[in-house]
Amino acid sequence: MSGCSILFDAGTLLVRGDESELAPVREFLLFDERVGCHRAEACSYSAMIRALTAAGIPIDDKARNYKALSLTLHSPHTPMSHQLAALRAWNQSKRRGVVVMPTGSGKTFFAFMAMKAVQRSSLIVVPTIDLLHQWASQLERAFGEEIGMLGGGSRDIRDITVSTYDSAVLRMDSIGDKFGLIVFDECHHLPGPVNRLAASLCLAPYRLGLTATPESGSEEGAEESLAVLKKVLGPVVYRVNIDELEGTVLATYVTRRIQVELTPEESRAYQEARRKYINFIRSAGIDFRDRNAWSRFAALCFRRPGGREVFDAFLTQRTIARCGSGKLTVLWKIIRENPGARILIFTADNGTAYRIGELLCLPVITHKTKAAERKEFLDSFRSGEYPVLVTSKVLNEGVDVPEANIAIVVSGSGSIREHVQRLGRILRRTAEGKQAVLYELVSAGTSEMSVSERRRNHRAYQTLRHLPLRGEGPASC
């Protein structure tokens, strides 16, 4: 045999050649007895091609199935200095790596710059259906090409295709040879054991990860996640933080935490339910730092006598803390005092979102909202027809609502990433310039106090001009 042949096979590479020809790529190969030849991970493709080329081994490359394109970028934007610096860094890293930029600083436009530089069939992988549609329409405008979509009922593959993470994982073993560039938006979703297959089953030699939060302080597994990103996408090649772009690229902002008192009835009900719940977890020896603690708690609730009452008590104390009547009053006050504002209201759960939506007659977007209505709500919010939008978690990331200038976190988890992403929703600078305000409502004397402390452990919340914790006061800033 003269040379080395490489074939894409179900998300992997089948590699044939004499022992001497395979020597330069030995580190990537495993012999697969099932098919009687060597196999390599698809993501090793470019490293193998480089190694074989350097060694002067002829390559019969039947794996690569992507095209060279002639993309022209039609956009009124000119690249900003941080975007140019990021592109330089990414190019220098053989066009593989992760770029860290805050929300609103032009990550999408930066991806367009990378696509224009590479000029190959490209796949953009995004975490939600909303982002799928948003990217597809922006790509169509930017490059004047029809855009393929995978996910949300679409199965259309084109030279430029946008896919959800779920669809990419499911389909990558059949489409992993069709793209020269793969871009992972919000790439902090990639390191999970399933999602990472979307990167490892694809042979694209050029790889770009985009995120505002590749790691989040001391959150569990941050180091391991970065190692996975490095393996399948490349290292972090460029990073710029919110406070470095504030006032220039991003809007100026303040964050305001408002402590809300429970009513005496709510306080009593909260204390009683909380006591019942805490006594139970203590007696059962449940430690919520343990990864399996929640399932153990739920299992015990349905096994032990009286467990169901404990579970109800758990739900009661959580509901009161997340959205007691005091929070509704403060929420209403902020809406009343900011008649011209564009307000996003975030909750920790769908139940609270719908409760607020029903009471205040506001549009609510959750994962249950049908696609057409979701689009209608977002379009109406962007145009100003609807000044207030309520959501649980689906708008935490990515979706572009540049006009929003006030975010009200009625409730949330302890996740730093979630809290930073929610702040990011209101930071996109508008032509008129804006002052963004993030209000965080915290029920006084409840477990929400410590949850709030945990999620604020990020430099975006730690500069002195952000207002310290205080009781209810004038809501406008």
Q: Which residues sit at the interface with other proteins, rule CB under 8 A?
A: 7, 9-12, 14, 16, 30, 32-37, 39-41, 60, 62, 169, 173, 193-194, 197, 200-201, 292, 295, 298-299, 302-303, 328-329, 331-332, 335-336, 339-340, 354, 357-364, 368, 373, 376, 380, 385-388
Instruction: For residue 346, list its beta bridge partners.
Output: 391, 409
- For the CB of residue 369, give the shortest distance to other proteins in the complex, in Å: 9
Shortest Cβ distance from residue 10 to other proteins (Å)?
A: 4
From the CB of 358, what's the least distance to other proteins, in Å?
5
Nearer to other proteins, 66 or 110 (CB): 66
CB nearer other proteins, residue 172 or residue 273: 172
**Whole-number Å distance between alpha carbons of 21 and 393:** 52
Q: CA angle, 71 as apex, 69 and 74 as ends, to 5°?
A: 170
CB of 35 to other proteins, least distance (A): 5
How far apart, in whole angstroms, are the C-alpha atoms of residue 318 and residue 204? 46
> Considering beta carbons, is residue 177 or 215 the nearer one to other proteins?
177
* Residue among 372 and 464 whose Cβ is closer to other proteins: 372
Least Å from the CB of residue 23 to other proteins: 20
Nearer to other proteins, 56 or 339 (CB): 339
Helix-helix angle 129-143:107-118, to 10 degrees:
50
Least Å from the CB of residue 248 to other proteins: 30
Cβ neighbour number for residue 291 with a 10 Å cutoff = 8
Residues 6+ apart with CB under 8 A from 129: 151, 152, 164, 371, 374
Q: Min. distance of Cβ 236 from other proteins in angstroms?
A: 23
Task: For the CB of residue 243, give the shortest distance to other proteins in the complex, in Å.
Answer: 32
> How near is the Cβ of 240 to other proteins at its closest, in Å?
33
10/84 with CB nearer other proteins: 10
Shortest Cβ distance from residue 422 to other proteins (Å)? 21
Cα–Cα distance for residue pair 71/424, rounded to 1 Å: 30
Asked if 168 and 144 count as a contact pair (C-beta separation under 8 A), the reply is: no
Residue 183 CB: number of other CB atoms within 10 A? 29
Q: How far apart are CA 28 and CA 449, in angstroms?
A: 50
Whose Cβ is closer to other proteins: residue 332's or residue 467's? Answer: 332
Judged by beta carbon, residue 169 or residue 378, the one nearer other proteins is 169
Question: In terms of C-beta density within 10 A (0-12 exposed, 13-18 middle, 19 or more buried), how is residue 145 classed?
Answer: middle
Q: Which is nearer to other proteins, 7 or 157 (CB)?
A: 7
Cβ proximity to other proteins: between 7 and 47 the closer is 7
> What's the min distance (Å) between Cβ of 428 and other proteins?
21
Rounded to whole angstroms, what are the CA distances from 212 to 50, 196, 242, 303, 343? Answer: 31, 18, 9, 43, 22
Q: Given the complex with other proteins, which of 127 and 387 has the nearer CB atom?
A: 387
Closest to other proteins by CB, 41 vs 215, is 41
Smallest distance from other proteins to CB 361, Å? 4
The two three-digit tokens of residue 62, written as one number:
């039947």
What does the buried/exposed string (b/e) look like for 239-265 if buried means 16 or more CB atoms within 10 Å of the residue's CB?
ebebeebbeebbbebebbbbbbebeee
